[in-house]
Amino acid sequence: MNDRQWVELLQILDGQVRDPLPCGFLVDGPWVTGLNGIDLMDYFVDQQVWLEANLAAAARYPEIFWLPGFWAEYGMISNPPSFGAKCIWQENGFPTCAAVLGDYDQIDGLAQPNVRSDGLLPLIVRRLERARDAMETSGHRVRFATAHGPLTIGSYLMDHTNFFLGMREAPDAIHRLLDKVTRFIIEWLCYQKERFPSIDGLLVLDDLLGFVGDRDFQVFALPRMRQIFSAVDCSVRFLHNDANGLITARYLERMNVNLFNFSFEHDIHEIRQLAGDGVTLMGNVPPRDVLGRGTADDVRQDVRRLVDSLADKRRVILSAGGFTPPQFTDDKIRAFRAAAERSTR
């Protein structure tokens, strides 16, 4: 994001209404590569391909927030390999990783990662360092420190079924695992801020928050998410959870979150009622069925319905209700923006 966009984002979070309503999208490798017609593996391993693809996307649509912007990520393998998880590079898909914990008794032996040296974290930092001059020459800066959330990382280290069973069968062990993971996340976010002083935003992605009930959310998730979002002094505290988000929405302010990207399956007015007036909501056009599989006219109609339904247009960023699909192409992007230009009055 450039300086103008960053100021606009802060104004939106502060409650100022923008006319036209702002559009912003959470984008990662599949969308950036789809837009540029390049191979996902090349995007991950080739510094110049990654940089040029992100510069092109930012320049092509300067009126849109692409968040977090110039994201040096490797999908789900960005964080768990720091704990020793094996990376699995799929030929025609996003990379994933294998669990490292076969039993709850192994949690205490899991080494605490060094965020300066372990896993793929040094590659993430170096990519941004090598791109910094080109980014700043084009008017952009590294704005966000990013990490997956504690439930997501914990469930990949243990495997999802055993992780959730452990909340009932071995809650003390799951607490110890989540404490290690939370410490890792905080240290990683702080290290990013240390290396890139231009960072003034946190992005934490945790869909697994939507897999637990209210009691387990309060016990296992809430205190750790509050720790994470309070660990670094940042103006933008952005949470992505496009699984079930009704419970998450109730606790956003207590987690110190002020920007929330949520599932299209939830009505934006219900999320507003649960979240309160102080959180900026980013959503909630269906990403797959409308932005991905729909036509430009489908996109236009859905965005217009959303805009027309908003009596209060403060703290709203029109977006996908989740990640932006690769099939969200030029004609649909322009249709989305045109529909958003309906008056905010």
Place 221 in a pLDDT band, splitting at 50, 70 and 90: very high
What share of the chain has pLDDT > 70, as a percent?
99
pLDDT at residue 344 greater than cutoff 60: no
Largest CA-CA distance found in the chain, in angstroms, rounded: 59
pLDDT at residue 190 greater than cutoff 60: yes
pLDDT at residue 343 greater than cutoff 70: no
For the stretch 21-31, pLDDT in tens is 999 999 999 99
pLDDT the model gives residue 5: 96
Among 255, 252, 167, 169, CA closest to 213: 167
Place 44 in a pLDDT band, splitting at 50, 70 and 90: very high
- Residue 189, classified by CB atoms within 10 Å of its CB into exposed (0-12), middle (13-18) or buried (19+), is buried
For the stretch 264-313, pLDDT in tens is 999 999 999 999 999 999 999 999 999 999 999 999 999 999 999 999 99
pLDDT the model gives residue 298: 97
Ordered domains of the chain (ranges, CATH): 3-340 (3.20.20.210)
Among 125, 248, 131, 243, CA closest to 193: 125
For the stretch 130-174, pLDDT in tens is 999 999 999 999 999 999 999 999 999 999 999 999 999 999 999
Among 177, 262, 171, CA closest to 216: 171
Measured CA to CA, the distance from residue 268 to residue 276 in angstroms comes to 12
Measured CA to CA, the distance from residue 308 to residue 90 in angstroms comes to 42
